[in-house]
Structure 1
């Protein structure tokens, strides 16, 4: 045996001394010492330390913690729920009390006592509703404050209350901690009644606040026959320090999480402001996006639904349960040109709500899921996937006890992806094609300098192109009619027919765009003295070269690379010149092809150029896609 280790003689007195931290609960120390030294019976849970530990269960945000109470209210049959953030104190030292009121069925005294115990639930493992375990109400409240007060009534004027106080429980010396009997009150404490009857600090305008009651006498009537109040005073652990930020976050998240219930008539208020449903799929016509000014199309397009995709309830299980999946495409054609503020701030198109998981009509996750929607990309902004499942699939989708997100098992995602992959790809491709075409059209207005400069340089060319020269009024009128027809076919977005005609009439070189999988990367027509260059947005030439340069130009050349502060360098100007030069390269090619095809009216030469264009296009496509 290595001499540096000394064997312990079993006859020696040996005792392990607990090394607790300085803030460990005093009552817990007493119980543990009693167990170690006196050999008393060991409780399954050391309550004094257990309840302290529950403060660190961990909720992502204050809103997610309060959602536990809203869940309970909904499960309790509430039709009206009010969430409050009551702010007092000075700037920089605000104190926040949180409160949740509902008009649900309330709890009898013995039910209230069970509900205040950990694991006590009237719905334990019932997977048809929202709650399952009987711990959410307590852990959520204690994650925000060391104390929580609950008031519940099943008949007017008979309010039963109980309090969980971490400091009080931590100081108890008993091995067995029992809950006290609920206390009977005939009225709410003034601190609670004040929150329910007075305007909040936020919203600042009292006119924006719809109070539950104007005074305490009216409050008793408004509380109704039954209901429950969760009061969480002196919150020391909240996501934000101001009531305004807390309320704004709660409104934003709860409007989406409870969109089904809100659309069905649930009245939910945050700081006396009514919350309306926000549907990230934009399918619900009762949701708030339908009231955004300036939008004509109010609904997304349901591409396809899969009402019953069977998913095993656990890995390798023979038992399955159905999952309903719906794939939507936002109305990109109608919304694409809306002001950025409308798309971003009012419609929230770019907030990343690509995939939404709904458990029993309550959202448990919204965000990006690459396995279902593909890699994150701008095209994903315009598609939505909603996955609806029941509580029997909690293990398959990794739903946590506190309902904060999902961790789907691979087999569950594979089952869904197998059904929806092709349709998702089609939506992404349609979106990509539309965005390319629109960028091409938009960039067309940015490269008009190339058309102008090519036209100015044409007078210097050694061989002029043949141009129509009408000698009579009839010929001039015919030429104008032809140009007007050409202008209509080449009209850009937001251009009137007359504006298009003026542009075509005054331009010798014209750029237009087309999306065609079977076309070469460019096409040239010479019509009525105009060289019309068509660029194919479906060809890799556009996506690999032309479009990236156009986007760099639009962004001021921000992605070109770094340059020292002493350089006199204008990246935007450089990329603009590159884009102009690229288009003039194509113009020169088109002009030369037009001129040589017209000389001698030789069909064989024209066919030779056509064959060359196609062969060149295919060769370029192969090389670019092989990169």
Structure 2
């Protein structure tokens, strides 16, 4: 026998084997497993005692995302009113938070309720026409939030059927097969449930007097509950994203208004702690959305730049496809960019990361940046929105899981979208970004109208430090002051910039000792100077190749520095380049101002002023011609 051969006896499994479970493992489950191992008892496909505890760790991104499972069910079964409550009692750190979700949908008959409480029990299993598919969401989401869940449903007044799933109780059950009990019927709601409907909620946004209560008192409650409805009650929640009812409610209002915007727009009333939730549309297209009520905005709707439908395979290598609608929007940059920063950030939420919104069967499943569609980080992203809408047939293509927490766009689906119609998606995005930049340039020009440039401000501020003082026009008398104002107004008329009013041009010229004037002059030197009414004017020739090849590109990049700061995206691609370009342009302008001032101070008051002026003019022309020749040779 070789050394590697193991005797038959040594290959037998040990006869004395017991599970090595953790201290918090459910005892009932351990009993069932031990019985199966020792006695060969029948083993169920699912061990209920451990499965229900394991499902608590299924994981939801937030309390709101877990509660969306219940709102999904409400909407799927015809509810027109849904209410979510967060009730807090006790003081921190020993506070208790109960959660309740109510809807006025169809309700469930007792036998339907019993099926619905089973894991995998569903009336619409794998039916892709609605929001839900698997019969897991309600139970998994509830137990992810609390250790027990009570579900109460009715299909006629005052006939409430209820069932409870309790993790601890089920974990102690020693039966191999755990069966659900029959629903219990009562004509009254439990007092802790009923009180949620008639009392103001602590921590709600509105004051107690302003809250829209479901019912005024217990007498009115049964009438308001109506013929049909369902309540999901989660007492003593132990797994919450936030520790206070107010914060939980605030986040639910913010997120659910966006997630269910289509349903709210169609008339579904959604309340969070007695506050009616308004639709929030990240594309700014819905006219009923709350952004239309933000104070100070005149343009209330974005522009739909393009919309098309693309056929996307339902699975990789599948020949079966499903339609996916792509819509690309541009926000009203020209009117909104001038709004206060606080309005853009907190009122309109322009700077939230809402670039791409995935909408499945009218319900948003994900929103954010989307590098898989090659939308790279850029300061224009804040002003562009993409909405991709699909039905549940495309769940695999968009990586939508059973809990509907996000979309993980598969490569084959992304390729179908990107390749469609000769790369229409990328071309449209490029066109939108170009339009956004152009609109920002207009807004920037309007912002700068009547304002001196950075270089003009620097040169003016430093002028008092110069060793030679340039003469100033006399202003001792009222007549002299009036004459100077008239001369400056005349000068301002010739130096008026695009988008400036006459008064803005005058105020700018009046405020600065140094002025830049851009003029297109064939055969003229690159720059020329003039000292007039105490103002040193540098005229830059936009027809010169140095302006075209160097000055203008740097100036264009420098303008983006202002746009990047307006976008609040400090990490936007090109922001460092734009800032460096702004500094380079500042250096170029100050160089010309210093040359112009040096020449002017050499001439003013000099007996040979005319000869010096002619010499400097000749020098500027000769230098410009040499520079132009060098650029022509370089081209």
User: Could you tell me whether the CA contact under 8 Å between 1:373 and 1:424 is conserved in 2?
Assistant: no
Query: 2 CA distance for matches of 1:81 and 1:538?
Result: 61
- 1:127-142 map, 5 Å: 127-142=128-143
SS at structure 1 position matched to 2:185: strand
Judge conservation of contact 1:597–1:605 (CA < 8 Å) in 2.
no
1:333-360 superposed Cα distances (whole Å, 9 cap, x missing partner): 1111211110101111111111000001
Equivalent residue in structure 2 for 1:211, among 210, 213, 223: 213
- Residue deviations 1:259-316, cap 9 Å, x none? 011111110000001100000111111100000001111111111111x111111111
Paired position in structure 1 for 2:514: 509
1:531 pairs, out of 525, 532, 538, with: 538
Distance 1:202 1:525, change over 3 A: farther
SS in 1 for 2:158: coil
Say whether 1:385 aligns with 2:422.
no
CA distance in 2 between partners of 1:122 and 1:15 (Å): 45
Query: Alignment partner of 1:323: what SS?
Result: strand
Task: Supply the RMSD in Å over aligned alpha carbons.
Answer: 4.1
Structure 1 CA distance for aligned equivalents of residues 158 and 596 of structure 2 = 88
Matches within 5 A, 1:294-313: 294-306=296-308, 308-313=309-314
Q: Does 1:587 align with 2:593?
A: yes
2:616 corresponds to 1:609: no
TM-score of the two chains, using structure 2 as the length reference:
0.82
- Residue number among 489, 492, 498 corresponding to 2:503 in the alignment: 498
Distance, in Å, in 2 between the alignment partners of 1:327 and 1:17 is 60
Q: What does residue 425 of structure 2 align with?
A: 420
2:66 counterpart SS class: helix
Quick one: distance in 2 between partners of 1:74 and 1:550?
42
Per-residue CA distance 1:110-137 (angstroms, 9 max, x = gap): 1111100111111111111100000000
Deviation per residue, 1:26-59 (Å, 9 max, x gap): 1101110111111111110011001110100000
Q: 1:462-501 counterparts in 2 under 5 A?
A: 482-489=490-497, 497-501=502-506
1:200-254 Cα deviation digits (max 9, x unpaired) = 1122620231000011110101111100000010101011110001000100100
Structure 1 residue 447: deviation in Å? Answer: 3.9
Where does 1:45-194 land on structure 2 (aligned, <5 Å)? 45-194=46-195
Aligned 8 A contact 2:284 2:301 in 1: yes
Kindly tell me: are residues 498 and 394 of structure 1, through their superposed partners in 2, closer, same or farther at Cα, counting changes over 3 Å? Answer: same
Who is 2:10 aligned against?
9
Shift of residue 100 of structure 1? 0.2
**Aligned partners of 1:350 and 1:381 also within 8 Å:** yes
Q: Does 1:335 align with 2:343?
A: no
Question: Counterpart in 2 of 1:258?
Answer: 260
- Cα separation, 1, equivalents of 2:318 and 2:289: 39
Cα distance change on mapping 1:613 and 1:79 into 2, 3 Å: farther
Return the alpha-carbon distance in structure 1 between the equivalents of residues 508 and 338 of structure 2.
Answer: 23
Q: How does 1:363-402 map to 2 (within 5 A)?
A: 363-372=364-373, 374-402=375-403
Cα deviation 1:595-618 (Å, max 9, x = unaligned): 999959999985983783596599
> Cα–Cα, structure 1 residues 86 and 419, in superposed 2: closer, same or farther, change >3 Å?
same
Separation in 2 of the partners of 1:597 and 1:353?
62
Distance 1:379 1:597 in 2: 51
Q: CA deviation at 1:488?
A: 3.7
The residue aligned with 1:430 is: 435
Deviations 1:386-420 (Å, cap 9, x if unpaired)? 00001000000000100000111011112222331
| Cα distance, 1:607–1:299 mapped onto 2, change above 3 Å | farther
Partner of 1:452: 460
- 1:565 alignment counterpart: none
Is the Cα contact below 8 Å between 2:103 and 2:229 reproduced in 1?
yes
Q: Which runs of 5+ in 1 are unaligned?
A: 463-474, 559-573, 623-627
For the structure 1 residues 528 and 214, does the alpha-carbon distance in structure 2 shift closer, same or farther, using more than 3 Å as the test? same
Q: 1:495-531 CA deviation, whole Å, 9 max, x = no partner?
A: x5324213225646324789x9xx9xx9757689532
Distance 1:445 1:585 in 2: 14
Q: Secondary structure at the match of 2:317?
A: coil
Greater Cα shift, 4-13 or 167-176 = 4-13
More displaced, 347-356 or 11-20?
A: 11-20
For 1:41 and 1:202, the matched residues in 2 are separated by 52
**554, 574, 593: which is aligned to 1:541?**
554
TM-score by length of 1: 0.83
Partners of 1:395 and 1:108 lie apart in 2 by 33
Question: In structure 2, do the counterparts of structure 1 residues 447 and 373 end up closer, same or farther at CA, with 3 Å as the change threshold?
Answer: farther
Q: How many Å separate the matches in 2 of 1:25 and 1:598?
A: 98
CA distance in 2, matches of 1:545, 1:275: 43
Separation of aligned partners in 2, 1:416 and 1:282? 23
* Whole-Å separation in 1 of the counterparts to 2:518 and 2:152: 68
Cα 1:370–1:513, aligned 2, differ >3 Å: closer, same or farther? Answer: farther
SS at match of 2:238: coil
Decide which moves more: 226-235 or 523-532: 523-532
Q: How far apart, in 2, do the equivalents of 1:600 and 1:590 lie?
A: 13
Structure 2 SS opposite 1:260: helix
* Cα separation, partners in 2 of 1:226 and 1:387, compared to 1, 3 Å: same
Q: Give distance in 2, aligned partners of 1:429 and 1:607.
A: 39
Q: CA deviation at 1:484?
A: 4.2
Residue in 2 aligned with 1:226?
228
> Given that residues 129 and 360 in structure 1 are in contact (C-alpha distance below 8 angstroms), is that contact kept between their aligned partners in structure 2?
yes
Residues 498 and 144 of structure 1: CA distance in aligned 2, closer, same or farther (over 3 Å)? same
CA distance in 2, matches of 1:377, 1:498: 37
